[in-house]
Chains A and B, each alone.
Chain A
């Protein structure tokens, strides 16, 4: 016996479960007054060094930062970041190429969020998969190192499209690798017109001030009155 065929409208986001968890997290983060910043990039762009420097500078300025780091394996990054004295939690994803909101929720569970000013989420080094997953962050920074080439934004438009700020790292090596700043900025502008772009070096400290001001001003705008 054949049944009657019927089409049922659904119109539901495939990642709706992740989106729901992310929405609840975002609300919690906002209520606690913590600015949550996620970092995405390809492996080797200097995410961890950049984050270590950021945590150290924030600690020096008497802020209370913390970090969650995602990696396929090892807790090397968490060990490195712990040197900044900020609380750090490692998420080991195994073979999973991205973090999901539920993982962040679990990692953040034991922390008193109201006791934090900034929470950084370092995603797994990958420019493809993390783009689709909302983690409840207020700010998503995509990192691009000068050694990767100027055309990365054109090759990975999705992640650049989902970001709130682009950070060009290892700018101290720009001359050595003949990095074309103008071309890189133009490529970012093509993919995402108006996206703020920063150039900095974790090693020399160049540009870190601008990054710090962005964080502090975003947090001010974010904190409940």
Chain B
């Protein structure tokens, strides 16, 4: 349980600090730091892990704060109920903003949140019911029975307990099936979608989680300050939350706390020191903040916590899945049945016909090679079959089902797995975790069970499967290596293992032998034959002719987007048209 040591220490430190004879001023400071850290915790998930960002977190804090303020003052509802009303309002607005912006490229979310933060600020400042710019005054402190826990030391314990619970939940989430999906978002959507992951759904999910964290912070803040007014929820504060997260370390859960602490203390100090230095009052601290932000991004893009994290490398994942049950296996087509029928598929990019009415089929247990000179349209054909690109015309039938118009994640769910010409992986996850992503569609546990750690049975089954596939392909020694540290060849093998984890009926390999050494190629050929003997069908794009001629039953030859010929390797080798395509014609 070495991994949980820092959390345990912090959890113990909180009551100890509360008992220490610290001046009340410092307890209040720690309370604010806890509240800010809770907001930036959400940004760690959204920005650091998911690669999206929001300048509107302060607006969500505002929704949480104003909801509880208005309801407790006007209806006398208990704050313990208004918390959930606030969360509901926050969730609705976050989902609306998310659904509108997250289908488009990444920079629309921050833009929308800027506008959204501004309009909410002016709304709060102009509504009579919310007290205009004066805000709402005279809120009650939080209490449990007769005990006031809304101020001082007891509030400190409450606030930091919530913060630590949030941090723990987030660390749990990141190390889980949905967590791996979330970590894949940053590197573009293609790979994740090919693993059957709905990237859009996860983007909305993390935006929602971040907003909910902010809303809880708002609820706490309202009852701690006992007043709310718009200035705490404006765009400047929204930007400051992002600033805290970036300075602390945008990819690290603990960076949020460090960043919040540092910025709060710096802010207080500068607000006193700078006007004294300059001679007039004004919020000059933003100058320093702006410059520091640019400097941090330039020289320490992973934030302060990255310095600490480098000193303490992640402990190796304990292997606890030997006794886990195997994952269920799908029914595969019987030997010799058609697995894939490609019927006259066509792709036009403007005036260029990249793939021109290509047709072929693959029977169960067959290895088919797709070959052709560079630029023949092989990878485009791949992308058309797997649903990454939309077809201009034509039909693809997979296991008897028409999959022509399905997106790649649906096709992947039906049992078609692929690798990529340029390896796509999550470099800072271990090989095992990367491969476990392939089994995404074979699990079902969600975000909440991941946060609560009730997903362990399924996690162990996924890990066991990942290990099995890695060992099958001869990568058993690399389980705990960081994927980014692997050489090109092993990276490609890892992609094959990942594809195998999906329990596919058809495996599509895009240049699997590129970058492999001779021995590794032989091993790959052996693996392919072994897979074939187990009834797997394989479509292979490859330039290594020795390998292709060695393992393939059938070859499809393309040139300039059109089908040149097809047949057994021997037939193709004898075909003069193929020779001409590869070597040019004799005159």
Task: Answer whether A and B are interacting partners.
Answer: no
